[in-house]
Amino acid sequence: MLKFIGRRAIFAAFTILIVSAVVFGIFSLLPFDPAALTCGQRCTDQIVEANRVRLGFDKPIYEQYWLFLSGIFLGRTYGAGSAAVGALLLWLTVGIGLGIVAAKFKNRWPDTSSSVFVLLATSLPTFVTGLALLIWVSIKWKLIPLSLQGYTSLFDNPFKFIEYFILPWITLAIAYAAIYTRFTRAALLETLGEDYIRTARAKGVGERVVFFKHTLRAVLAPLITLAGLDFAGLIGGAIITETIFNLPGLGRLTLRSVYEFDLSVVLATTILAAVVVILMNLIVDMLYAVLDPRVRIT
């Protein structure tokens, strides 16, 4: 197991290095002077040259790349990535839970109710769901203040942290949970019809063991892959939700940096998004090895 994890970790680190080099090279070839872009309207040649020296743009490209690697996460505020983690946990819990219930009670009222939830959740855009939560929860019912006093760390005040992010979590989780509900239901029903499930039942294995040890374990593998990809895309792709709830997330930071031609931030967030994708694939590989020991020999 440790050998498998070590191989995957080395491969992930090597991939991150290659991706960062390629992205940095692409940005260095853009037809812009990065030093000039850091200057305002009252810009002079002396200021541009001073910025070029201060930011290291006067150095060879390989030195610039090394300086970038050594300081990519220093001196910048990249936003509250933990908001996405909460949404991930919420939609996995709701989506997989509803999918299991729908499969267990196929063609009965729980299954029908889950279908209604899926239809509503997939039909409503995130900005509609977010605005509805703001209007009802914050304005009408006054359960959560409309304007919170900024971000609070989970370790400083867990309750304030949850209060700050709960509505964005729910907004994102509703849309994703609908997808996971249908996926879980379909995968469970298909797996329950496999020959090895019928064989286990014929041997007298209890229904609980058949479901949790054989059926659900087989379904979790593709769900883990789907969750990893969705989470990686969510890190920088929740711009609408960040705007509705005024969150300082990566999506808004990247979009604003594109508008302002802040290439350094765009470069950093691009590589950061790639790193998240690679790390999530590493985590998925590790979870696969736990669920299916046969993966460890590859």
Residue 65 lies in a domain: yes
Residue 48 lies in a domain: yes
Asked whether residue 39 falls in the same domain as residue 141, the answer is no
Asked whether residue 65 falls in the same domain as residue 86, the answer is no
Nearest alpha-carbon partner for 125 in 217, 214, 240: 240
Asked whether residue 65 falls in the same domain as residue 132, the answer is no
Position 147 scores a pLDDT of 63
Our measurement of the distance from residue 284's CA atom to the centroid of its chain's CA atoms, rounded to an integer in Å, reads 13
Q: 194 is in which domain, residue-wise?
A: 82-248
Asked whether residue 66 falls in the same domain as residue 90, the answer is no
Asked whether residue 23 falls in the same domain as residue 113, the answer is no
Asked whether residue 42 falls in the same domain as residue 177, the answer is no
Average pLDDT of the chain? Answer: 82
Asked whether residue 94 falls in the same domain as residue 230, the answer is yes
Residue 295 lies in a domain: no
Position 75 scores a pLDDT of 46
Asked whether residue 22 falls in the same domain as residue 160, the answer is no
Position 97 scores a pLDDT of 92
For the record, the structure tokens of 106 come out as 């196929």
Residue 290 lies in a domain: no
Residue 220 lies in a domain: yes
Residue 166 lies in a domain: yes
Is the per-residue pLDDT at 39 higher than 80? no
How many CB atoms lie under 10 A from the CB of residue 167?
A: 21
Asked whether residue 87 falls in the same domain as residue 73, the answer is no
124 in Cβ contact with 131 (< 8 Å):
no
271 in Cβ contact with 19 (< 8 Å):
yes
Asked whether residue 108 falls in the same domain as residue 241, the answer is yes
Per-residue pLDDT of 144-182, as tens digits, reads 877 665 667 777 888 888 888 889 889 988 989 999 999
Per-residue pLDDT of 234-273, as tens digits, reads 765 577 888 888 877 777 778 887 777 777 778 878 888 8
Domain count along the chain: 2
Asked whether residue 184 falls in the same domain as residue 61, the answer is no
How many CB atoms lie under 10 A from the CB of residue 191?
A: 18
Per-residue pLDDT of 185-237, as tens digits, reads 999 999 988 898 999 988 888 888 898 888 988 888 888 888 888 887 776 55
Provide the CATH number for the domain around residue 152: 1.10.3720.10
Residue 38 lies in a domain: yes
User: How does 88-123 read in b/e, with b if 16+ C-beta sit within 10 Å?
Assistant: bebbbebbbebbbbbbeeeeeeebeebeebbeebee
Residue 70 lies in a domain: yes
Residues 81, 84: Cα–Cα separation, whole Å: 6
Higher pLDDT: 129 or 44? It is 129
Residue with tokens 């914050």: 138
Residues 267, 157: Cα–Cα separation, whole Å: 33
Asked whether residue 71 falls in the same domain as residue 90, the answer is no
